[in-house]
Amino acid sequence: MPEQIKVLVVDDSSLVRKITTDILERDPEIKVVGTANNGKSAIFKNSKLDPDVITMDIEMPILDGLAALKYIVETNPKPVVMMSVLTQHGAEATFRALEYGAVDFIPKPSSMLSISVDEIAELLISKVKSAYKSRVRAAKKIVQAVKRPAEQEEAVTFTRDATSQKTVGIGTSTGGPSALIQVFKSLPEHFPSPVLVVQHMPEGFTKAFSERLDSVSRLRVKEAEDGDVVEPGCGYVAPGHSHMEMEVVYGKPRIHVYSGEKVSGHRPSIDVLFNSMAEHSGKETVAVIMTGMGKDGAEGILNIKNKGGATIAQDEETSVVYGMNKVAVQKGAINIEVPLHEIAKKIVEYI
């Protein structure tokens, strides 16, 4: 880390700019070098101040956050963390921003009334530090990597009555939403296995994110609910702030969603999902660990490999943050490491 991570805070509300600045500067490793109240000013100050990370509001006058993000990604790319309001419209705009090249997002402090100031501060600071670690893989490079049209086509198709005993589990964090959209877009029609997903994401956004995945995918995707029967051709996204695990009830796989202590620093935790899959689907598991800071999921995916399951990691080149997947590789937990655009193809091969 440098002496301090330089951050540009962009928001049309002076109150939100002050709250965000005060929170970030609690941490001695972070320095807010400037603020902007619209997208046009953000573009100018990005060039003038050369920040390491930008926090960006979406709805602003003169030039909104999405337009500013696209310009920054195309001309002078920096890691951008979007600040989103907790509404359906806000969530949809946030996921568009992630597809445009933002590395992560956080609910605006003013919209997070259900959690403490300390929790808001911890989340915001950790997101900025994660984004800083992604700086060597500029957003423009990531966007180009996930838009290779010829390589996104699935190599195998399934018939309507295709069956498989396999269950797929995917875990991801920073940089994950846009990467997951790419994977789900590339899974073929009549995919014969269920897909269980843990994406580290704040409470309130996972429902909108699952709807986004459903809209771009041939699978039926929903936010997981306790007691859901795990069915082929369906995707289940762990709800924010709750763990999700697989269990077997009367011989049928089901989903158990519950609140509990954080595991590996997270709730939902990828380790919780992967460990339950190792127990209940064992060698019939295909597990994927993708971009993200930290080590959540590395122990769980090693457990799956030790039970005979197939394990895949997203490679360093296409990861926004080569963290969780790096730890899994170092533990010897991975059968194969592939770029983002090959993950769906490799899942299909293992199925």
Instruction: Please list the active-site residues.
Output: 173, 200, 296
Per-residue b/e over 262-297, b at no fewer than 16 CB within 10 Å? ebbebbbbbbbbbbbbbbbbeebbbbbbbbbbbbbb
CA gap 111, 42 in Å, rounded: 22
Sign of CA dihedral 151, 156, 157, 162: negative
Per-residue b/e over 123-153, b at no fewer than 16 CB within 10 Å? bbbbbbbbbbbbeebbbeebbebbeeeeebe
DSSP 110: G
Q: Which of 57, 55, 56, 7 is nearest to 30 (CA)?
A: 7
What string of DSSP letters covers 185-222? Answer: HHSPTT--S-EEEEE---TTTHHHHHHHHHHH-SSEEE
Half-sphere exposure of 181 (CA within 13 A, CB side): 19
List of residues 6+ apart from 103 with CB closer than 8 A: 79, 80, 81, 130, 131, 134, 139, 142, 174, 175, 320, 321
The three-class DSSP label of residue 83 is strand
List of residues 6+ apart from 89 with CB closer than 8 A: none
Q: Which of 164, 170, 176 is nearest to 349 (CA)?
A: 164
CA gap 330, 310 in Å, rounded: 16
Pairing of strands 195-199, 336-338: unpaired
